[in-house]
């Protein structure tokens, strides 16, 4: 009788040990699975927080999506720079001028084409072509009003008109509004220029080329 009682006691202890081991294995498995799931979720979230902005020099600049307001300001300025380089960097070739303006049109609304039409009607582009003038723009600074879209942007720049014998420097000041739109291959920053105006465009100096 005593032997049977001892056997039953040992059997109960063995079942208790097996149950403890099984529960421990289940808890550890759940904890391990939860740890893997948390790590995967955290990794995916961190990867989504990174966006790449294409700047004017065609290099990639890493920006954090969580600092969206700060980065949108930077993107807004780069959008303005890219537009001015397209619209105001011109060679004395009608095909090149039309190509630049066509690409610049994706950056803004009807006010961009209105400015282009006004310049064409005044014979500005014809004068560049006939005078064999190369026009370049150098951006000095861009100021933004507001910390997020919609922005009001004012651009201070210089235009260089390079002729065979002279180089004329002009002061160029433009103003526009910027609103958010969907990004696309033709507009990687996701901004639209509105109400583009040229506030100032006057000669500063003309020097003779050696």
Kindly write down the DSSP assignment for every residue of 66-99, as one continuous string: GGHHHHHHHHHHHHHHHHHHHHH-B-S-HHHHHH
Q: Are residues 142 and 91 in the same domain?
A: yes
The pLDDT assigned to 209 comes to 84
With a cut of 70, list the residues of the chain below it in pLDDT: 1-12, 14-15, 44-70
Are 96 and 164 contained in the same domain?
yes
| Residue-level pLDDT at 66 | 47
Domain check: are 63 and 167 in the same one? yes
pLDDT at 76: 93
Please tell me the distance from the alpha carbon of residue 72 to that of residue 191, in angstroms, as a whole number: 9
Residues 125 and 186 in one domain: yes
Work out how many domains the chain is built from and give that number.
2
pLDDT given at position 98: 94
**Is pTM beyond 0.75 here?**
no
- Could you tell me if 65 and 103 lie in one domain? yes
Say if residue 70 is in the same domain as residue 160: yes
Q: Specify whether 21 is located in the same domain as 70.
A: no
What is the span of the domain harbouring residue 14? 1-48
Radius of gyration of the chain (CA): 33
Residue that finishes a domain, picked among 9, 31, 48: 48
Mark whether 83 and 18 lie in a shared domain: no
Q: Which two tokens stand for residue 167?
A: 């180089």
CATH code of the domain covering residue 127: 3.10.450.230
Say if residue 19 is in the same domain as residue 30: yes
Using alpha carbons, select from 141, 142, 133, 140 the residue that is nearest to residue 160.
133
Percent of the chain with pLDDT over 90: 60
């Amino acid at each position: 009788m005593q032997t049977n009682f001892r056997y039953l006691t040992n059997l109960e202890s063995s079942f208790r040990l097996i149950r403890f081991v099984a529960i421990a294995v289940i808890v550890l498995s759940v904890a391990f699975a939860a740890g893997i799931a948390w790590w995967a979720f955290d990794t995916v979230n961190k990867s989504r927080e990174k966006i790449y902005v294409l700047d004017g020099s065609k290099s990639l600049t890493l920006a954090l999506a969580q600092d969206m307001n700060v980065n949108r300001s930077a993107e807004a300025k780069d959008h303005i720079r890219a537009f001015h380089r397209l619209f105001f960097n011109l060679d004395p070739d009608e095909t090149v001028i039309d190509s630049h303006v066509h690409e610049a049109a994706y950056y803004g609304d009807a006010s961009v084409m209105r400015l282009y039409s006004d310049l064409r009607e005044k014979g500005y582009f014809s004068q560049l072509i006939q005078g064999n003038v190369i026009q370049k723009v150098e951006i000095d600074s861009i100021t933004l009003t507001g910390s997020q879209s919609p922005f009001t942007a004012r651009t201070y720049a210089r235009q260089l008109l390079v002729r065979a014998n002279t180089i004329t420097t002009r002061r160029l000041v433009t103003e526009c509004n910027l609103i958010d739109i969907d990004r696309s291959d033709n507009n990687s920053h996701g901004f639209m220029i509105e109400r583009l105006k040229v506030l100032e465009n006057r000669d500063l100096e003309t020097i003779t080329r050696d």
